A and B are shown apart, each in its own frame.
Chain A
Amino acid sequence: MNGPGLNSIILALVTFIPLAGALLLLFVPQRERDIRVFSLVISLLAFVLSLHLPVHLQRAQGGFQYEVNIPWIPTPNIHYHMGVDGISSWLVVLTTFLTPLCVLISWKSIRERVKEFFILLLILETALIGVFVSLDLFLFYFFWEATLIPMALLIGMYGHGRRVYAAVKFFLYTMIASMFMLAAILWLYAKTGSFDFVTIQNAVRGGGVEGFATAAPWLFLGFFVAFAVKVPLFPLHTWLPDAHVEAPTAGSVLLAGVLLKMGTYGMLRFNLGLFPEQSRANAGWISVLALIGIIYGALVALVQPNMKKLIAYSSISHLGFVVLGIFSFTQTGLDGATFVMLAHGVSTGALFMLAGILYERRHTYEISEFGGLATPMPRYAALFLFIVLSSIGLPLLNGFVGEFLVLSGTFRTSALYGVLGATGVIWSACYLLWMYQRVFFGKVTHEINEVLPDLDLRERITLWPTAAAALVMGVAPLLWLNAIDPAVQSTLAPLTQMASKVVGR
């Protein structure tokens, strides 16, 4: 616990301000303008407060900071235990950074049932932050489930075409997978008698848990399946394209920006944290799955007629990088993976916003509908190019730093995976630039495109922060890596000792 006062209650504040905002929204009168302004203020407040987290984080101290640990339910001894380290503090900032932008982007696009929309959005934000800050397995599972309902309702109520199918598919995929995680958590509780992540981690490392050796592979799989569905890893990814195409813009931004990171964060925290030797044993086939994800995602994106689906498959392939980085078990690999998580959140979030803006004008995502948009909408085209370059991985922008670190880490463990991963960078360049060329360059094919209005003030305000963040992350990654490095150090500690035992170096 570092210092009384703000530090002790900051986590509770950041997590539950959006929820309080959502409840207050119930009493705000039905006028749409007030609702939108009110939710914008709430999300900005949460963002400012969350900035406090990385700034005051003591670099030297490896463990969790701003810890709060209050017993909540005595009988199965569940504690309200929250804490943040380098990785999760920045993920919280990513969430609070994207939510105000979502509120701004859906200023005009949401017409009816506005109040319910913003209530669901704020509840979703609370649940997402909760996932990243909770250290009690039960609390983690509680927030993990709590993200399902608002997201499913957002897709189901405000989406386009086949929204019900997409919402049900999304809900069921995650629900059934998380049942396995629940079974694993139950088993751990039955054997160690507590839900607390830290105590379980010590018990596991101490070897005190009886029957752990036999059950460990199943427990690892239980956790891994739930996270793999969320990432999404190759075989379990089919829900993502449907969910993205049908979700409203704000929903896709949060879905791609943060929900996918819950899966990778879970792998980093729980799979690596609790089962180091299992993760090393399974690293082989998981990395293969990640590689397939990268290449398959990129190839399918290449042929997509629908712009939003293309971006969805691009995020599958980018997340493949993250998983590759995590299971390379090297310091740089894990640093890179965390950095790609943050960078991907910013750039893909921006890409979905851009697609949303286009949808507001033409109510379609089909690339064939657009052609030569550079002439009527020059500013929009420039921004779009900037974001595309950042997500491709142009040096001096955020994509490059992350992918470079991941690839260098992967090369160290196995050169073959490194090479195959590198092709992913080329593929992403192909489909994104080709899409950009078809949409923006050449002469205007459809006459109604001539008169499309360019970005208005509100849209510019939403997009500029993401562009600025992409640039700053590209130029000065150390701001982020200083916080991430010690956290990665502490997660990697058991693995490296174990590695030295195994490899003997």
Chain B
Amino acid sequence: MQPVATTFFFYFLSAVTVISGIAVITRRNPVHSALALIVALLGQAGLYLMLYAPFVAGVQIILYAGGIMVLFLFVIMLVNIERAQKEEQFNKQWIVGIVAALALGVLFVLVYMKGKGLFPQTVAQLPEGENTQGIAMLLYRDYMFAFEIASLLLLVAIIGAVVMAKKRI
């Protein structure tokens, strides 16, 4: 059975992601850009689902949208944004920004044109039944050392955050 209208979902989700991505940059109020970012993250989670990566989509929603964006909103609340809004939004180097974005765009278009023949046209079916199980076996077997070191990374993050945030330690 051929899935009903996947291309529609792809265009819908990528449109959502790209528009909210641009909104993140252009909005004056940091809260608005934070919300736009959350929408972009959710759109991206949908794209992961389309690429047969349900576990990663789940983690994206829980961790990114749920964790990091909460942190962002907390910090935005902490910093009074009235003064921030009155200040001029774009600093002077917007020419540099445009040039850099164009350069990157040209690079990606070049890569895309050259690499066209490289990729199979359609995305092969992948049994996403045991996706998480597959990742689990990989994560706790082949990448075991990276997993242990990640705990150390979290420890450093805790220390760093508390040391910098508290007034007097």
Asked if A and B form a direct contact in the complex, defined as CB atoms under 8 angstroms apart, the reply is: no
